[in-house]
Structure 1
Amino acid sequence: MAIEDALTELSGFLGQALSRSKSDLDNHGRSESHFPETPPDAVAYPETVEQVQEIMRICSRHRCPVVGFGAGTSLEAQAQATQGGLVVDFSRMNRILEVNDADMDVRVQPGVTREALNEELRATGLFFPIDPGANASLGGMAATRASGTTAVRYGTMRTNVLGMQVVLADGRVIRTGSRARKSSAGYDMTGLFVGSEGTLGLISELTLRLYGQPEATTAAVCAFPRIEDAVETVIDTIQLGLPMARIEFIDTETVQAVNAYSGTTLPPMPHLMVEFHGSDAGAKEQAETFGEIVADHGGTGFEWATRPEDRKALWHMRHTAYWAILAARPGARAIVTDICVPISRLAEAVNATRSDLEAAGVDGPILGHVGDGNFHAILLHDPADAEETAKVKAASERLVELALSFGGTISGEHGVGVGKLGYMDREHGETWAAMGAIKTALDPLNILNPGKLVPQPAAD
C-alpha cells in the first residue's frame, strides 16, 4: 500500500519524530467544529526545513497525502486528513529567528504562536496585531488567511505577511516576497500561498510586518435596543473615518450565553465592543466621538475600560463566546459558519439572518467582526437528531446564498476546507477552475491536503 510504504521509509528517516500512537492520531483527527473525526495514518514532527523537504520527497515518491498542522484551530476541517496519510505537525518548528526593530518586521518559524511572538516582542515596543481569538500558530494563520477582531484596523494575514519560505510537493524550497514594503517584480507569490490552506506547499518560515505598541488603548461595551441600531452605529463609525482597532457585535442570545458562562451581567440586548489605539489625546477624542454616535442610535450602558485588566476581561469574554454558546446547550455540536458582505448591506444581512433562523426554528447566536462586514452564526444541533442536523445545514446554505446575493463572500475568515467546498463554484465560477490549474501545476500528484479548497481532479 502506498501510504504504508511511505510511512516505512519515513520511520527510518525520522525515528521517534514519526508517531503512530493512537492518542497522537486521535488528537490530530479532531475538529473544533462539527466535522467527524478523521485520524491520519501517522504524525511527523519536523524540526528543520531539511526534514520537511525529505518528508515531501518521500511522500511524493509514494503518492502519500500530506496535511500541514499548526494548532488545529481551523473551523472548516482544513487540518484534518480526510483522505488519510501523513499529518506534518509544525509545533517543534517554533523559533523566532530574527527581529528587525528598525524595519518593524520579524522572521519566524511556522509553529510560533501569536501569543508567544507578542510575549517575545514586549520589550521592543512592537507587536503583531492579528488576533483570531485562539492562540493559533502563525503558519496556520497564514495558510488560512486568518484575521479576527483587529482586522478593521490592521488588516488580515494577507496584509501582514511580507514573505515566506515554502516547501513544495516535490521537496523543492522556494522563497516568496522580501523585506521591502512593496515590489512590482513578478507575480505576488506570497499572496498566492497566504490562504492556500496547505494545498500548494508547506510553509516553513514567515516574515511578518510589525507595528508600534499604541501609547493609549481604550475599550468599551454598550447595549442597543435592536440589532439594526448596533449595526448602523458600526456603519456610521466607519463612514466617519474613526480609526477603530476593534469593533465587535454580539446578539442577545450570545449575551445570555456569555453571562451564564463568564459570570458577567450584561443586559440581554445586542451589544457592541470597541477598542481604540493611539495617543492619550487621540484615543480619548475618538472615544468621545464614538460615544456620541452610540447615543444617536439609542445605545445605553456605555462603559469604558481603560485599565489593562478590564480590557483583558472584556476581550476574554468575546473570545470565549463560542465555548459559552456550546455550554448553553450541553451535548450539542455547532456548524460554525461565517460570511462577509459589503458594509452598506451589513444591517440588512444580520437582520435577514436572524429572521431566517427564527423562522426555521434554528438555535443560532450571531456575533462577529462587523467592522469589516464579517459576522458568524453558531448553528447548534444535536448530532444524533438527523432532522435537526439537516435543518441546520439548510440554514447554513441559505446564509451562503444571502452573502452571494448581497455581493459578498461565502467566508470572511474561516476559509473553505471541506465545509464550504461545495459553494466555491457559485462564488468564483471559472476562476475556481483557474485555482485548480494552479494547484495541478504546483502539486501534480495532488498529495498536499487533497480534497480541500479547489476543484477535485478526476480519479486516475
Structure 2
Amino acid sequence: MTTAIEQLTDELSQFLEADQITVNETVRTLHSKDESYHTPSMPDAVVFPRTAEEVSRIVKAAAANKVPVIPFGVGSSLEGHVIPYDSGITIDFTEMDKILDIRPADMLVTVQPGVTRTALNKELKKHGLFFSVDPGADATLGGMAATNASGTTSVKYGVMRDQVRDMEVVLADGSIIHTGNMAAKSSSGYHLNGLFVGSEGTLGCFTELTLRVFGIPEVTVAARAVFDSITNAIEAVPAILQAGIPIARVELVDTESIRQVNAYSETDYAEQPTLFLEFHGNEAGLAQDVAFTEEIVKDFGCREILFEQETASRNKLWEARHNAAYAYTHGFPRKQMMLTDVCVPISELAEAVVFAREELDRQRLEGGIVGHVGDGNFHVLLMIDHSDADELQRADTYNETIVRRALACGGTCTGEHGVGVGKQKYQREEHGPAYDVMLKIKQALDPGNLMNPGKLIVE
C-alpha cells in the first residue's frame, strides 16, 4: 500500500526537478538537527523550492496528504526549531537566495528567505548601507525572521521584528499573503508582521522579506572595559545608556569566558569581567562620546578601558566575542554545549547574572556567562558530558532555575534564541491566559497542525 509520504513525493515530482526532492539518507540526516543539544530526528524527505509558487504547491500537496512541513534555513538555530520530530518533509530554502531589490532612498531591501546575513551585507556595502541584526551565526534571513533573532547590535538598532516591513508568506493551505507594505508606518489592520516574525514556521513559510537597512556609520570605535566585578560591569551599562551615548554594542564577558577566549583566540585580555563596546557616529561626536564613556565606567570601578578604531583591531575584538562559544567547545572537546538564553529588565540584570554564576558553581557545572547587557539578555554556556546522567540532570535543573528566576522578575524564557522544543514547556507559565489566544491563532491558521508541529505553541 502506498504511504502518505510516497504519495506526496510522487505528486511533488510532477512539478519539481529531480534535484529538488530527495529521500537520500545523508541529506535527511543533515536536516535532522540544528546546532542545539536536542535529539536529532530525520524528515521523510527534503525539498528545495526555487519560487514562492513552488512552495505554495508543496504546502498544498502536503496538506492534502496530511504530511507535516518543516521550514529550514541553514540549521543554525539553538532550540531544536527545525528538528522534524513528527517526520514529514523539510523545505530547505537555500536555493531561494536572491536579493530581489535594493531601494537606497527608502532604506529598504527585498530578499528571498535563503539569503544569508553576510551575503546581504556584502551587496549592501556597495550602496553605503548595512543590515543591522547580527546574531553571530551567518544565518539565513528567513530563519532570523522565524526566530525574531537579535544579537550584539540590538541595543541601538533593534531586533529582527523591528526591521521587517513586509513579508510574503505561504500559509498552511498553500495560499500566499503579504503581511505589510513599504511605508515607514501604518495604522491599518492587525500587525501581521509582528505575528509572523518569531512564529518559528508554525504559521507559514516565508518566501520573501522586505527589510529596513541603515547607512554605514562614518566612524566606528570599539572598546574593551575591564572591571573588578560582574556587578560593577553591568551597573555601568544603564549609566551609559541614560547619558544618551549612541552605543551600538555592549557585551558582557565574564572571567571564565575571557579565559577560554584567550586560549582559543590567542589574545591576552585581562581575566576579569569585561564589557566589549562599540560606538557608531561621526568623528566629532564620537570623540566626545568616547571621553564621556570613559568617565562613566571609571565611576563604576573600571580598571582599564582600551579603545580601537582601526578596522583590523576592531574585527579582532569582535571575532573574539563571537567565538566565545567555539572557545568553550574547543576547551572542552569531550563535552557538548548547552546554551541558556534569558532576558530580564535591565534593572534586574546584575542580580540575575550574579545569581546565575553562583548557581553554576553550586551545581558544580563548567561554563561561563556572556550577554547583550544593553537589553538585558544573557547566556550561560554550559559544557556537559552527555554520558553522565547526573551532570545532565544538574544542567537541566540549572537551566530551569535560571528561566524561572527570569520569569519571576518580569523577564522572558528566551531573549533571542526562540522557543522551539527546548523552551516550549515554559510558554503557558510565561504568557498565562494569552497563551490560549496564541493557541486559537495557531488553530485558525493551521487547523491540521502540519506547520512545524510540536514547536512554540502546542496544545
Tell me, yes or no, whether TM beats 0.5. Answer: yes
Q: How does 1:271-282 map to 2 (within 5 A)?
A: 271-282=274-285
Q: Which residue is 1:432 aligned to?
A: 435
Q: In structure 2, what is the Cα distance between the partners aligned to 1:8 and 1:321?
A: 46
Q: What TM-score, normalized by structure 1, do the two folds share?
A: 0.98
**Partner deviation per Cα, 1:347-401 (whole Å, 9 max, x = no partner):** 1110111111111112231001010000001122101111100000000000011
Matched, 1:418 2:421: yes
Q: Which residue is 2:95 aligned to?
A: 92
Q: What TM-score, normalized by structure 2, do the two folds share?
A: 0.98
**Partner deviation per Cα, 1:146-172 (whole Å, 9 max, x = no partner):** 000000000001100001000011110
Q: In structure 1, what is the Cα distance between the partners aligned to 2:25 and 2:274?
A: 44
2:246–2:281 Cα contact (<8 Å) kept: no
Q: In structure 2, what is the Cα distance between the partners aligned to 1:302 and 1:141?
A: 33
Q: In structure 1, what is the Cα distance between the partners aligned to 2:7 and 2:103?
A: 44
The aligned amino acid for 2:12 is: L
- How much does 1:339 deviate? 0.6
Q: In structure 2, what is the Cα distance between the partners aligned to 1:343 and 1:238?
A: 11
Q: Which residue is 1:159 aligned to?
A: 162
Q: Which residue is 1:130 aligned to?
A: 133
SS in 1 for 2:341: strand
1:222–1:273 Cα contact (<8 Å) kept: yes
Q: In structure 2, what is the Cα distance between the partners aligned to 1:428 and 1:85?
A: 29
Q: How does 1:225-244 map to 2 (within 5 A)?
A: 225-244=228-247
**Partner deviation per Cα, 1:262-317 (whole Å, 9 max, x = no partner):** 10111111110000000011122111111111211121232111011111111111
Q: In structure 2, what is the Cα distance between the partners aligned to 1:317 and 1:19?
A: 39
SS in 1 for 2:285: helix
- Among residues 60, 64, 89, which one is paired with 2:63 in the alignment? 60
1:432–1:455 Cα contact (<8 Å) kept: no
* Unaligned runs of at least 5 residues, structure 2: none
Q: In structure 1, what is the Cα distance between the partners aligned to 2:6 and 2:241?
A: 55
Q: Which residue is 1:2 aligned to?
A: 4
- Among residues 375, 379, 385, which one is paired with 2:378 in the alignment? 375
Matched, 1:334 2:337: yes
Q: How does 1:10-409 map to 2 (within 5 A)?
A: 10-14=12-16, 15-409=18-412
Q: In structure 1, what is the Cα distance between the partners aligned to 2:188 and 2:203?
A: 21
**Partner deviation per Cα, 1:63-98 (whole Å, 9 max, x = no partner):** 111110111111001111121111111111010111
The aligned amino acid for 1:186 is: G
SS in 1 for 2:421: coil
Q: In structure 1, what is the Cα distance between the partners aligned to 2:248 and 2:203?
A: 32
The aligned amino acid for 2:297 is: V
1:33–1:333 Cα contact (<8 Å) kept: no
The aligned amino acid for 1:7 is: T
- How much does 1:455 deviate? 2.2
Q: In structure 1, what is the Cα distance between the partners aligned to 2:413 and 2:187?
A: 30
1:214–1:277 Cα contact (<8 Å) kept: yes
SS in 1 for 2:425: helix
**Partner deviation per Cα, 1:203-235 (whole Å, 9 max, x = no partner):** 000000011110000001121111101101112
Q: In structure 2, what is the Cα distance between the partners aligned to 1:386 and 1:290?
A: 47
The aligned amino acid for 2:377 is: N
Q: In structure 1, what is the Cα distance between the partners aligned to 2:109 and 2:36?
A: 32
**Partner deviation per Cα, 1:123-155 (whole Å, 9 max, x = no partner):** 211111110001110011001000000000000
**Partner deviation per Cα, 1:314-341 (whole Å, 9 max, x = no partner):** 1111111111112111121122111111
**Partner deviation per Cα, 1:37-84 (whole Å, 9 max, x = no partner):** 212111111111111011001100011111101111110011111211
Q: In structure 1, what is the Cα distance between the partners aligned to 2:9 and 2:88?
A: 9
- How much does 1:12 deviate? 3.5
- How much does 1:3 deviate? 2.7
The aligned amino acid for 2:110 is: R
1:357–1:395 Cα contact (<8 Å) kept: yes
Q: In structure 2, what is the Cα distance between the partners aligned to 1:314 and 1:199?
A: 37
SS in 2 for 1:414: coil
Q: In structure 1, what is the Cα distance between the partners aligned to 2:320 and 2:25?
A: 34
Q: In structure 2, what is the Cα distance between the partners aligned to 1:411 and 1:125?
A: 33
The aligned amino acid for 2:65 is: H
- Measured on the aligned residues, the alpha-carbon RMSD in Å equals 1.0
Q: In structure 2, what is the Cα distance between the partners aligned to 1:255 and 1:420?
A: 28
Deviates more, 1:186-195 or 1:2-11: 2-11
1:132–1:147 Cα contact (<8 Å) kept: yes
SS in 2 for 1:13: coil
Aligned residues: 456
The aligned amino acid for 2:171 is: L
